[in-house]
Amino acid sequence: MPPSQKVDFYLREYFFGKNKMKMIGLKAKHKRGKNEDYFYKVGTWRTFYKNGNLKSLINYDIRVNKNGISQSFNQDGNRTEEKYFIHGEELK
């Protein structure tokens, strides 16, 4: 991204109730999306089951396309799926 473009980042956390993590990841506000006032998912996002185990791990590029590894897990914490993406396109 050119140095003249400002990007604002913040850590976004969602919870089940008050203290059980549901989802966590970075959001970015930038001029590369459809809406300059919107914060987009970027980087690695993690979602969790209510029991605290990891549900999914998904990486996003700056335009909210899956980019890199994407994994899903069952409630026992065992990986059930693993895929790889390059800017939204799944690698086979």
- pLDDT per residue over 4-49, tens digit each? 556 688 999 999 998 899 999 999 887 666 666 778 899 999 999 9
DSSP-assigned beta bridge partners for residue 16 = 20
Question: Residue 65 burial (CB < 10 Å; 0-12/13-18/19+)?
Answer: middle
- pLDDT per residue over 48-86, tens digit each? 999 999 999 999 998 889 999 999 999 999 999 999 999
pTM of the model: 0.83
CB 38 within 8 A of CB 10: no
DSSP-assigned beta bridge partners for residue 44 = 59
